[in-house]
Amino acid sequence: MRVVVKYTREERVKYISHLDLMRTMQRAVRRADIPIAYSQGFNPHPVMSFASALPVGVTSDGEYMDMILSESMSLPVLKERLNHALPKGITVCDAMAVDSKAPSLMSLIERADYKVTSIGIDWNKALAAYRETPEIRVEKRGKRAVSTVNLKESVYDIGVDRENQEVLHLSMKIGKKGSLKPDAVVEALLELSDQNIAGSEQRDTRGSLTAIHRIGLYYRRNGEWVTPLLEKKD
């Protein structure tokens, strides 16, 4: 049985790395006594995979993992047991059985939406500068070399919240189509509009003066953006 699980990562655990998260999930699955399948080979490991690595310091309402169970179980029970076994701050919201031949989450996901909240930054000014610049070259670290890419090609949509001027909405390409981190965009915006984060000499976006929150991960299905659990994007 193959299951996709949606979970959150909240403020109190936002500094864990992707490796930390994977370890945490594996141990939670063991504590919850979920019949997870193990890989074959010399060093068997539980068969789990993740949609996307969430950068250190970023919170999220919608993360996804995929796991294979060696025997089927009720999804509400799975959710309840996992939530009991997870540290506070990581919460399973939902789970869905998927076809064993369905593509991996990582290859499925195309889009990630973020909410960036900042104090003392004029997002409107930053956006005006962004729109005037036809191409923004940023460095991207690959496995071997550092290349430069046009940041604008990684952004689907960007805009300031209508009600709260401190909030920037950012929608980015993710997965196969490019995987720039949201802080790269924030940094570029600050640089373009010549702004510094209040109280900080560095334009470091991991500090909480700019809190980055992932709203969700999506892919396009029948012309609509949906989450891996087929929830429509609002």
Partner 1 sequence: MDKFILDQIMGQVSKPVRYMGNEYNMVEKHPKEVFIRFAFAFPDVYEVGMSHLGMKILYHLINERKDTYCERVFAPWVDMEEKMRQAGIPLFSLETKTSVSQFDLIGFTLQYELSYTNMLNMLDLAGIPLLAEQRTDEHPFVIAGGPCAYNAEPLADFVDLVALGEGEELISELLDAYGEWKDSGKSRRAFLESAARIPGIYVPGFYDVTYLEDGRVESVKPNTDVVQERVTKRIVHDMDKTYFPDRIIVPFMDIVHDRIMLELFRGCTRGCRFCQAGMIYRPVRERTPERLLEMAEKLVKSTGYEELSLSSLSSGDYSSLEDLVKQLIESFGEKRVALSLPSLRLDSFEKEYIHEMQKVRKTGLTFAPEAGTQRLRDVINKGVTQEDLFKAVSHAFESGWNSVKLYFMIGLPTETQEDLQGIADLVKEVARCYYMVDREKRQKGLKITVSTSSFVPKPFTPFQWEPQAAMKQFREKQGFLKKALRLRNVNYNWHDPESSYMEAVFARGDRRLGRVLLSAWKRGARFDGWSEHFNMDAWMKAFEENNLQPEFYAHRKREEDEVLPWDHIDVGVTKAFLWKERQMAIKGETTPDCRIDCTGCGIRRLGRGLC
- Residues that bind partner 1 in the complex, under the rule CB under 8 A: 12-13, 15-17, 19-21, 23-24, 26-31, 38, 43-44, 56-57, 85-89, 199-200, 202, 204-209
Chain centroid, CA 21 distance in Å: 12
C-beta of 27 vs 125, nearer to partner 1: 27
We find the least distance from the C-beta atom of residue 133 to partner 1, in angstroms, to be: 27
We find the least distance from the C-beta atom of residue 178 to partner 1, in angstroms, to be: 24
We find the least distance from the C-beta atom of residue 20 to partner 1, in angstroms, to be: 4
Angle at which helix 18-31 crosses helix 75-85, to 10 degrees, equals 110
We find the least distance from the C-beta atom of residue 14 to partner 1, in angstroms, to be: 8
The DSSP code sequence of the chain is -EEEEEEEE-GGGTT--HHHHHHHHHHHHHHTT--B-B--SSS--B-EEES-PPPTT-EEEEEEEEEEBSS---HHHHHHHHHHHSPTT--EEEEEEE-TTSPPHHHH--EEEEEEEESS--HHHHHHHHHH-S--EEEEE-SS-EEEEEGGGGEEEEEE-SS-TTEEEEEEE-GGG----HHHHHHHHHHHTT---TT-SS--TTSTTEEEEEEEEEEEETTEEE-TT-PBP-
We find the least distance from the C-beta atom of residue 87 to partner 1, in angstroms, to be: 4
C-beta of 34 vs 129, nearer to partner 1: 34
We find the least distance from the C-beta atom of residue 231 to partner 1, in angstroms, to be: 28
Please provide residue 131's backbone torsions phi and psi, each rounded to the nearest 5 degrees.
-70, -30
We find the least distance from the C-beta atom of residue 30 to partner 1, in angstroms, to be: 4
What tokens were used for 70? 């060696």
